């Protein structure tokens, strides 16, 4: 009767262990890369309702009325809505997405966090009280 070669058994065990370790490392890397690809970098956009239009509070938008908002697919987005219009009620809805910020009166702020769709697309955002004057385009790309 031959006894199993102990060195051989050890080598097989070691290969098994290394393989398991590699699988763990590769899958962990995969998870990290996948979340990066899905736009894990979250974004906060402050929309100010003022003089019956939306403006974005940022240097690059330079106060343009109802600016086009562009986000990445799968990106985590927080929209902050602030109402600077005295005596007016404003809200913000993105049509076709389940995004609906509650109505706020002057001086009030509300916020909503959501994940942008996984597929690119174009949507309309608007204030449901003033949909003709307060509307813009929300692009997912
Ligand atoms: Cu409004």
* 72 and 108 share one domain: yes
For residue 85, the CA-to-ligand 1 centroid distance in Å is: 9
Q: Give the residue-averaged pLDDT of 67-78.
A: 96
CA gap 120, 67 in Å, rounded: 19
Q: What are phi and psi of 2, to 5 degrees?
A: -95, 135
How many structural domains is the chain composed of? 2
Instruction: Output the domain CATH number for residue 72.
Output: 2.60.40.420
For residue 9, the CA-to-ligand 1 centroid distance in Å is: 74
Whether the full predicted model's pTM is greater than 0.85, yes or no, is no
* 120 and 62 share one domain: yes
* 24 and 68 share one domain: no
* 72 and 136 share one domain: yes
Is residue 102 within 8 A of residue 90, CB to CB? The reply is: no
* 119 and 76 share one domain: yes
* 131 and 89 share one domain: yes
Q: pLDDT tens digits for 25-66?
A: 556 655 555 555 555 689 999 999 999 999 997 766 677 999
For residue 128, the CA-to-ligand 1 centroid distance in Å is: 6
pLDDT confidence of residue 31 = 54
* 10 and 58 share one domain: no
Of 12-16, 34-38, 64-68, 81-85, the one with minimum mean pLDDT is 34-38
Question: Is the pLDDT score of 70 beyond 90?
Answer: yes
CA gap 24, 131 in Å, rounded: 51
Q: What range defines the domain where residue 61 resides?
A: 43-140
* 70 and 124 share one domain: yes
């Amino acid at each position: 009767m031959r006894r199993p070669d102990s060195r051989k058994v050890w080598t097989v065990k070691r290969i098994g262990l290394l393989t398991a370790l590699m699988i763990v490392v590769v899958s962990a890397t995969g998870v990290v890369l996948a979340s990066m690809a899905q736009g894990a970098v979250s974004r906060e956009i402050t929309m100010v309702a003022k003089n019956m239009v939306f403006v974005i509070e940022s240097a690059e938008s330079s106060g343009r009325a109802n600016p086009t908002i562009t986000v990445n697919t799968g990106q985590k987005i927080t929209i902050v809505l602030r109402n600077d219009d005295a005596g007016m009620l404003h809200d913000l809805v993105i049509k076709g997405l389940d995004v609906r910020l509650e109505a706020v009166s002057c001086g009030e702020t509300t916020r909503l966090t959501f994940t942008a769709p996984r597929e690119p697309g174009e949507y309309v955002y608007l204030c449901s009280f003033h949909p003709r004057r307060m509307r813009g385009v929300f692009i997912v790309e």
